[in-house]
Structure 1
Amino acid sequence: MIRLNYYNALTQVIIVGFVCFLCPGMFNAVNGLGAGGQLDASASNNANTALYSTFVVFGVMGGAFVNLCGVRYTIFCSGFAYALYSGSYLFLNHHPDNSSFSIAAGALLGVGAGILWAAQGMIMTSYPREEEKAKYIAVFWVIFNLGGMLGGILPFAINYHKDSGSNADGVYIAFVVLECLGACLGLALAPPSKVVRDDGSSVMLVKYTNVWREALEVVKLFFNPMMLGLLPMCFTSNFFYTYQFNHLNAGLFNLRTRGFNNMFYWGFQMLGAYLFSLLLDNSKFSRRKRGLIAFGIVFLFFNSIWGGSLALRLKYPKDRLPADRWDFKDSKNAAGPMILYMICGVADALYQSLAYWIIGALSNDNQKLSRYAGFYKGIQSFGAAIAWQLDVKVTPRNQLIANWVLFGASIPPMLFVIWFLKDHSEDIPKPSDASDEAYEEKTTA
């Protein structure tokens, strides 16, 4: 029986879930509208390229920042970068020819997001016991994607009588307010040194760190066979967003229907993450067997969505889209592509859940897992930066093919990592001369 209290590990995962519900969740909602909810995608593409370019660096380095500064203040400061980014689209509504603010806000968000996701990844993968890591990932994913779901409801309701153009100001104002609340919620997190699991064990494996040690550990990530094996999976894991958001959702549907679709895209993510956790935490199978079964499911889902996307794309010679974007009430034309977009949401949840589960299976050490999570998000952002810029220069059909090829290329190294997973992660004992109070003082200074 789970007992929730403030210092319980699950409570802390729930809190960071709501932080991401309000910050990255709203960001996902903006991007999920396609072109950031704007009529012209160029500003959004350039802003996202800037975002993911800085995210590459600060994602990989994010674990070092978290280990040196602690989770509360890094999340608090990082959260406001999301509000600045959403606010830049409000500015763009009134100055459509000036995208420099959105590009600068995107670059700053890359800094904040890299650090925030490293902290989130550390909490989500190191706080639970080994046998319940997938459950904690699912709990986080459900709460986080409630943000994307709410972010679909808001523009759908506000834009209900507006089927073209850019989002109304009220949409962006709502996002800014919610993201500021999310940043402040980061201060509600307890110091890791005080957090305990259900069995009474401490989540914190105390080890003192410094700038030079963190720099060395970040460099060592690029010589770690497991991290190198995950590198193609990391690179591919957000690459597909550009095609799905800009060419499936925004390319085929009118403004209000994009929000309607996103309610189900993120809602189906919640369902997918929950169902996947039942497999990944199933102790009847070895960790390797669970990983292989999960890999098989991901393999089938992604080949299905890219096959379906190609069949849909081939209906439009030379990538010419319908003259009038479809509305959700147009069941004859819209139903099939809407279902395909929803299945894309399920596939995304399965892919991300598997990636985090693999990372969590590699260690129980907080500091290692913050670096591993940062590495994952950094390389993921490298792929996303390329994808958003390719959208300016490459046809949608070629983007689709690139996504499918990249997924295929990630399969052999992904299998390599899964094959060498052990049933029990390494666990470093807490040094006898290090106190929680000292660590708390260090990380909250």
Structure 2
Amino acid sequence: MSPERKKLLNILILGFSFMFMFTAFQTCGNIEQTVIKSFNSTEFHGSGYTSMSIIYGVLSASNLIAPSVVAVVGPQLSMFFSGLLYSGYIAMFIYPYTWSFYTASVLVGVGAAVLWTAQGNVLTINSTNDTIGRNSGIFWALLQFSQLFGNLYIYFAWHGHVHITDKDRRTVFISLTVISLVGCFLFFLIRNPEPESSSSDVSESLLEAEFAESSTVSSPHSSLCSQAVDAFIQACKIFVTKEMLLLSVPLAYSGLELTFYSGVYGTCVGAMTGFGKDAKSLIGVSGIFIGVGEILGGGIFGMLNRSSRFGRNPVVLLGLITHFVAFYLIFLNIASDAPLAPEAGTELQAYITPSVAVAMLCSFLLGFGDSCFNTQLMSIVGFMFHDRSAPAFAAFKFIQCVAAAVAFCYSNFLLLHWQLLILVVWGFLGSMSFFVAETLAEANRRESDYGTI
């Protein structure tokens, strides 16, 4: 097998591994607030929004040390052990206790930081400047198939259920735990990339050497320590670069809208009494439409990025417009107290007669717009920091997850229209900042191309 095909196979395996893991975890996040409201046990006192806020808060802080962990343990084992923490969080819902719920939230926050830093490292090492956009799109599309399968299962499992029983909950979360573990073990199929014999790209060869070195466990202790310290220093330096400061605004927006589509919007749909007795099962349908939007966007923009002819700015602009349309329709279609409503649902009226079709259209638009932003953010970070991928993606997730933690925190008390206003303001500012960063990246690329002539 040629080196290029081997790298593409690694990207496909990476995508399928994340697809299985996040079929379980994203489904868990989508339904957990609704599930918690239905607990029969008086011993449990927890909030799904608070749990997610803890996860993303710990995740953001842990990103400071994640590059060091990946440098010492290697990206493959880093992803495997992090995946086990995700599985533990999901399994906790089989027999939930308040203390285990919040402890698992802390642990999965640490694991997520390491997981996504290692993912960015593997994605970049198996890509070149010409293929980073394509590979980002392929990975994102495969990842977002998780929205389809998990939520389809929820729809059929909970169809017609007004109340979620303990048996319903245990059956769902046992299945999700097994699915998550399958994704963990798939990481062992990823192989070290090999340099192409005809390649003269020195930086690519250095990256491949970095993967091989970081994947071995036989390095001397002093070498491992120096790798860990160097990775930490690189991460700190990247935070204050001009490029990352510009990207911090769109990255923060991606964290805010991640919170909204993955945790808040599904809860809102399930709380709408105007959707009838199937409102709870519509949480799964909403997740499916989000997934369809994500997959379509990832596939299309992955192909467009195979050549940089169109650039990244039009895709981000499309994502902004798509999200603005979705936010306006949600504002009209969903009652303002839906994020905070009890299990019985909201009694308030929306501005229009609640429509399931409009709600599902909004789900699709949320997913499609999210893929616009995330594929381009992964692409530009991988392009700008190709030789420092692990610390760069650690900074990526740090900024994104600080914003997500803040958003899950205010989701506990802010009404829907205030949450939508925050998203509109940050979406606009983030897009403007991305345009400047892309202009800078294009200028650097042209300067680099001119220097090689």
Contact 1:248 1:337 in 2 (8 A): no
Letter aligned with residue 133 of structure 1 = I
Q: 1:245: Cα distance to partner?
A: 4.3
Q: Does 1:181 align with 2:182?
A: yes
Q: Structure 1 residues 10, 338: CA separation in 2 closer, same or farther (over 3 Å shift)?
A: same
Q: Does 1:260 align with 2:294?
A: no
Q: 1:385: Cα distance to partner?
A: 0.8
Q: Does 1:390 align with 2:410?
A: yes
In structure 2, what is the equivalent of residue 147 of structure 1? Answer: 146
Letter aligned with residue 330 of structure 2 = S
For 1:240, what is the secondary structure of its paired residue? helix
Contact 2:26 2:262 in 1 (8 A): no
For 1:230, what is the secondary structure of its paired residue? helix
Q: Distance in 2 between matches of 1:320 and 1:39?
A: 10
Q: Distance in 2 between matches of 1:50 and 1:318?
A: 18
Letter aligned with residue 73 of structure 2 = C
Contact 1:64 1:218 in 2 (8 A): no
Contact 1:29 1:149 in 2 (8 A): no
Written as runs of structure 1 = structure 2, the 5 A alignment for 1:129-168 is 129-165=128-164, 167-168=168-169
Q: Distance in 1 between matches of 2:105 and 2:336?
A: 35
Q: Choose the corresponding residue for 2:323, options 269, 286, 302.
A: 302
Q: 1:388: Cα distance to partner?
A: 0.9
Higher mean C-alpha displacement, 291-300 vs 337-346: 291-300
In structure 1, what is the equivalent of residue 42 of structure 2? Answer: none
Q: Choose the corresponding residue for 2:357, options 335, 339, 343.
A: 335
Q: 1:315: Cα distance to partner?
A: 7.9
Alignment deviations for residues 89-121 of structure 1 (CA, whole Å, 9 cap, x no partner): 2223xxxxx422111111100111111111111
Higher mean C-alpha displacement, 262-271 vs 73-82: 262-271
Q: Distance in 2 between matches of 1:42 and 1:425?
A: 54
Higher mean C-alpha displacement, 250-259 vs 113-122: 250-259
Q: Choose the corresponding residue for 2:73, options 62, 65, 69.
A: 69
Higher mean C-alpha displacement, 236-245 vs 47-56: 236-245
Contact 2:92 2:100 in 1 (8 A): yes
Q: 1:306: Cα distance to partner?
A: 1.9
Contact 1:126 1:360 in 2 (8 A): no
Letter aligned with residue 377 of structure 1 = K
Q: 1:169: Cα distance to partner?
A: 1.2
In structure 2, what is the equivalent of residue 108 of structure 1? Answer: 107
Q: Structure 1 residues 354, 23: CA separation in 2 closer, same or farther (over 3 Å shift)?
A: same
Q: Structure 1 residues 10, 39: CA separation in 2 closer, same or farther (over 3 Å shift)?
A: same
Q: Distance in 2 between matches of 1:68 and 1:116?
A: 14
Q: Choose the corresponding residue for 2:425, options 399, 402, 405.
A: 405
Q: Distance in 2 between matches of 1:59 and 1:157?
A: 37
Q: Distance in 2 between matches of 1:280 and 1:7?
A: 18
Contact 1:142 1:270 in 2 (8 A): yes
Higher mean C-alpha displacement, 116-125 vs 74-83: 116-125
Question: 5+ unaligned residues in a row in structure 2: which ranges?
Answer: 39-44, 214-225, 271-278, 348-352
Letter aligned with residue 252 of structure 1 = V
Q: 1:390: Cα distance to partner?
A: 0.8
Q: Distance in 1 between matches of 2:367 and 2:339?
A: 27
In structure 1, what is the equivalent of residue 375 of structure 2? Answer: 353
In structure 1, what is the equivalent of residue 29 of structure 2? Answer: 31
Q: Distance in 2 between matches of 1:227 and 1:69?
A: 26
Q: Choose the corresponding residue for 1:251, options 261, 268, 275.
A: 268
Q: Does 1:78 align with 2:82?
A: yes
Question: 5+ unaligned residues in a row in structure 1: which ranges?
Answer: 93-97, 428-445
Contact 2:289 2:360 in 1 (8 A): no
Q: Distance in 2 between matches of 1:381 and 1:356?
A: 15
For the aligned residues, what is the CA RMSD? Answer: 3.1
Letter aligned with residue 402 of structure 1 = I
Q: Distance in 2 between matches of 1:413 and 1:356?
A: 15
Alignment deviations for residues 326-374 of structure 1 (CA, whole Å, 9 cap, x no partner): 9xxxx98311111111111111111111111111221332xx1111111
Q: Distance in 2 between matches of 1:225 and 1:195?
A: 33
For 1:255, what is the secondary structure of its paired residue? coil
Letter aligned with residue 21 of structure 2 = C
Letter aligned with residue 347 of structure 1 = G
Q: Does 1:13 align with 2:33?
A: no
Q: Distance in 2 between matches of 1:89 and 1:212?
A: 37
Contact 1:137 1:357 in 2 (8 A): yes
Q: 1:132: Cα distance to partner?
A: 2.2
Contact 1:12 1:189 in 2 (8 A): yes
Q: 1:198: Cα distance to partner?
A: 11
TM-score by length of 1: 0.83
Contact 2:31 2:266 in 1 (8 A): yes
Q: Structure 1 residues 424, 198: CA separation in 2 closer, same or farther (over 3 Å shift)?
A: farther
Q: Distance in 2 between matches of 1:4 and 1:168?
A: 47
Contact 1:34 1:249 in 2 (8 A): no
For 1:162, what is the secondary structure of its paired residue? coil
In structure 1, what is the equivalent of residue 437 of structure 2? Answer: 417
Q: Structure 1 residues 314, 175: CA separation in 2 closer, same or farther (over 3 Å shift)?
A: closer
Q: 1:425: Cα distance to partner?
A: 9.7
Letter aligned with residue 35 of structure 1 = Q
Q: Distance in 2 between matches of 1:186 and 1:252?
A: 35
Alignment deviations for residues 102-149 of structure 1 (CA, whole Å, 9 cap, x no partner): 111111001111111111112223312222222211211122112221
Q: Structure 1 residues 188, 396: CA separation in 2 closer, same or farther (over 3 Å shift)?
A: same
Q: Structure 1 residues 261, 314: CA separation in 2 closer, same or farther (over 3 Å shift)?
A: closer
Written as runs of structure 1 = structure 2, the 5 A alignment for 1:178-327 is 178-191=179-192, 194-196=193-195, 204-205=206-207, 206=209, 210-253=227-270, 254-285=279-310, 290-313=311-334
Percent sequence identity over matched residues? 16
Contact 2:336 2:415 in 1 (8 A): no
TM-score by length of 2: 0.81
Q: Distance in 2 between matches of 1:267 and 1:180?
A: 24
Q: 1:8: Cα distance to partner?
A: 0.6
